[in-house]
């Protein structure tokens, strides 16, 4: 199925009006909105000279809306929206920009939309508990990061690579070592490499995409080359729990330690923090360790306010001892929810490691050891 567009025409109208209101002079601010977009693609847009503002913004949006992703795996409309969101902070248009950014991010990653949840407001509790962490917290976090990778998944259809111009179409995600030195885990939707409104990849294409996936260790800075490892095979996946286990050649690095039990009711009532190491938007590795409280746990899901972006799918969600408690998979749009006194647009969601371990125990694979 060919890619159609990220947003509907009515949503583009809303976005165009919001952009004009936020920027005041769209032509002047236009270079800022295209910041971070590949220059070769940016240069395909017409110069602003002599084009009315309202026409110019629609010309830009129409073109951005029909491009699924660029050769580096980035989504230009999403980058444009992220830049606009930064300018919209504190303005009434910020909510619609945030909503359309969330919609575009979901379209770009292939993550299925998650059901909104009623989440009570959480208050800052710094005066009621000690949130300081021990000295070794940061050092252990750096050690754990060595086992987290950026994933580049080339989309295929009927065994044939899907192309963006002369280059393969790449979907981005995050993964990490689990079980032993030759297994990676990430989301199924990362390996599926499809938009949410498309049919899932066939099993043959799914396996082929996995085998063509490149895992990049040590991509820790913009100028870092990283250590590239090719995935060998897809061992197990589950679409409901949204996980996939991949095999690579043994890289002689430690797997991430897993928390052997879920959060207790007492822990959840105290809103524990969870930390995420990730490659958002395919960027160098980042830590999310602020404003990161758990909101709730429900069945196989853990919900939290820890920051993520597209490309963070498949990241490990850690407790404060740096044991993995969940596999991050997406975000759910919410309304009328406050966190520390501020309105929030979404809550992030991960699949608990307990649920994944139980599924693997019930469906054993000779190359996958018991996780818990």
Residues paired with residue 64 on neighbouring β-strands, in sequence order: none
Which range is least confidently modeled, 98-107, 108-117, 177-186, 259-268? 108-117
Strands (E), the chain: 148-154, 156-157, 160-161, 163-164, 167-168, 170-177, 183-186, 214-217, 227-238, 243-248, 275-278, 286-288, 294-298, 301-304, 316-318, 324-339, 342-352
Band of residue 127 on the pLDDT scale cut at 50, 70, 90: very low
Q: Mean of the pLDDT values across residues 9-16?
A: 94
Task: Say how far apart CA 113 and CA 329 lie, in whole Å.
Answer: 10
Mean pLDDT of the chain: 89
Q: pLDDT at position 25, please?
A: 92
Residues sharing a CB contact under 8 Å with residue 85, sequence separation 6 or more, in sequence order:
94, 97, 98, 101
Q: Mean of the pLDDT values across residues 235-245?
A: 98
Q: Which of 62-71, 209-218, 284-293, 304-313 has the highest mean pLDDT?
A: 209-218
The token pair at 282 is 């395919």
Band of residue 3 on the pLDDT scale cut at 50, 70, 90: low
Convert the pLDDT of each residue in 22-48 to its tens digit.
999 999 999 999 998 999 999 999 998
End-to-end CA distance of the chain: 39
Which range is least confidently modeled, 59-68, 113-122, 126-135, 253-262? 113-122
Residue with tokens 């997406």: 330
Residues paired with residue 347 on neighbouring β-strands, in sequence order: 332
Residues paired with residue 270 on neighbouring β-strands, in sequence order: none
- pLDDT surpassing 60 at residue 123: no
Cα–Cα–Cα angle for 344, 191, 6, nearest 5°?
Answer: 50
Band of residue 120 on the pLDDT scale cut at 50, 70, 90: low
Class of domain 137-256: mainly beta
């Amino acid at each position: 199925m060919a890619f159609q567009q990220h947003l509907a025409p009515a949503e583009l109208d809303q976005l165009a009006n919001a952009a004009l209101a936020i920027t005041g002079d769209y032509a002047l601010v236009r270079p800022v909105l295209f910041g971070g977009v590949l220059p070769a693609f940016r240069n395909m847009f017409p110069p602003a000279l002599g084009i009315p503002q309202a026409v110019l913004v629609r010309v830009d949006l129409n073109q951005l809306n029909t491009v699924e992703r660029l050769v580096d795996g980035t989504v230009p409309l999403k980058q444009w929206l992220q830049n606009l969101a930064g300018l919209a902070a504190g303005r009434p248009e910020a909510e619609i920009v945030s909503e359309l950014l969330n919609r575009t991010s979901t379209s770009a990653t292939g993550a299925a939309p998650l059901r909104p949840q009623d989440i009570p407001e959480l208050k800052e509790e710094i005066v009621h508990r000690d949130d300081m962490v021990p000295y070794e917290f940061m050092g252990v976090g750096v050690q754990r990061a060595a086992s987290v990778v950026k994933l580049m998944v080339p989309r295929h259809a009927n065994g044939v690579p899907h192309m963006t111009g002369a280059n393969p179409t790449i979907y981005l995600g995050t993964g990490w070592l689990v079980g032993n030195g030759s297994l990676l885990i990430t989301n199924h939707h990362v390996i599926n490499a499809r938009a949410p409104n498309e049919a899932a990849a066939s099993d043959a294409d799914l396996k082929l995409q996995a085998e063509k996936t490149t895992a990049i260790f040590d991509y820790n800075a913009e100028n870092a080359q990283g250590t590239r490892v090719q995935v060998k095979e897809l061992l197990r996946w589950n679409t409901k729990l949204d996980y996939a286990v991949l095999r690579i050649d043994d890289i002689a690095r430690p797997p991430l330690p897993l928390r052997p039990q879920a959060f207790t009711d007492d822990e959840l009532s105290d809103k524990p923090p969870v930390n995420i190491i990730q490659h958002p938007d395919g960027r160098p590795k980042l830590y999310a360790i602020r404003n990161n409280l758990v909101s709730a746990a429900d069945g196989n899901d853990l919900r939290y306010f820890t920051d993520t972006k597209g490309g963070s799918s498949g990241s490990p969600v850690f407790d404060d001892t740096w044991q993995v408690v969940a596999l991050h998979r997406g975000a759910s749009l919410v309304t009328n929810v406050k966190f520390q006194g501020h309105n929030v647009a979404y809550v992030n969601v991960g699949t608990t490691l307990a649920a994944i371990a139980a599924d693997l125990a019930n469906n054993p694979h000779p190359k996958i050891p018991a996780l818990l």
